[in-house]
Structure 1
């Protein structure tokens, strides 16, 4: 393959010295394809991650390091995109593992099919539970917006994590630049919004059943497990990107509607039951009451709760719906503690 097929591997770095020390990016150096540049963007790390990046760069001229003030993964990836010089872009997460042939296979597919994007299959591994699951995409070559629209629900959106990440996707850099595609700065689910924006412009996409990546799911240490003050606003923004895609593609599908409503109902739970009751939440009771009112009065929340009353069954769900109806933080807190404790007891008995 010619020099023109260089891959820009972009990695956002923030306080990941553990993984840099343990893995030393070995799955990158072990690739069967060597025409790559590795752009490590140190996003204001407060541990020695930045120093470790510099040490890695001193050992290989293909590695570039950019140090910046903390701005989140989205801003770090945008800095990486600005520095990228390769024909293709791949975003790697340092706590995961890539198969040795990931780059070689992906470049071959991008070249032979002249793709805007490649999406490949992966293995999801949960170390704490000792379980793993192979997530295979249905093989499909998509040409044009109509085919993409027809394939979107069953072959992308309804596949586990099919839309939600960037690490199992290969992007043509000229495609991203032509359409001015970049990441937004929300603290969670930047990948999903980025991909939703890409779908408006993709003309050639290949869904590959080949597993090229091991995705590790950890219980702690990620943004999903933390208190985030604007969590609900992030969920609203994601929903708005879905609505934009629905309007652009004229989607009129009950399955898609049910997906959006169920998902946003889960977002309400995450914003109130998880985020507002999080042990790190600094809000006093007055602030929590105001946040609860703000969330429950939003139009998407009203639609989702109305949908849940008709479509989500179970005693636990009825208790939470009652707490939302009464605007009761006390009932919400009690129910959350009670059912969480019940699940822990159940889990310990079944072990």
Structure 2
């Protein structure tokens, strides 16, 4: 028996957060809100699943794509085969490309369909896709960009005191990178994400700084190059090259993975659980590390935890080190001594808190 999709709708939340910084340096405008695009999928049998399409600063575009592109393409299709529905959506929307907002919206659909599948079977997503391999995972504190020596050192030290043994900086200058290392401590693993803001000359100039501060990986040092020589130059210095959060579908990762040491798919961007699992297999086959991108506070967070439970190759969980006004679901698992417990409820284990949705929903 089939169970057709009868409704797909976006719900946009805007939840303020505090990070102790100025909210500047990474995004085009000041970043002080978590823009969460929930994707609600309902089937004929009344099963409701929840997903999330990437929405930070593009929430209205992602929501419009869910409502005006994805929903018309998939309503009536059988929800019991998430991978087939996701592929059908990609084919139906080929005119709009398999990148960016289109794939953010499809990602939200796919996550919701896998949530439906788990609920229907009474199994967590991890158990549904191959088995629960662990009950918790190590997390790292992903700091925002502060651009200020005192703040960087303070928040890196604060994270270390809370039990994190790994800290990611979004700093781009020697003084703030050094402050992050001092704050995190001599024994912590420190990584850096520069969000594609460096060029080859900057990389050459910064290599001694990275070596001196024992940086484990350098994330998105440049735009993914046609010629990966700049990335090989980094790896030759014993510093891993990480990227992937902005790549969509396994097709793009087939091209990207050979140039990487650390593969970083993002479940709310790559095409949901379906494409994420393909990328994980590409990384495993290539013998590469996998440390996914997961700075989320909606279903993307819960989906990433389920994937961590199912995939031994999921090295560490990225926890965005900010304080949101609220979580959009009750009982969110939070890091304790640098580890996250993984829910084992049916589906993702995510159910939105109606009071939070009412308070923070925006049109």
Short-chain TM bin: under 0.3
Higher-Rg member (1/2): 1
Scaled by the length of structure 1, what TM-score is found? Answer: 0.27
More helix, by proportion: 1
Scaled by the length of structure 2, what TM-score is found? Answer: 0.26
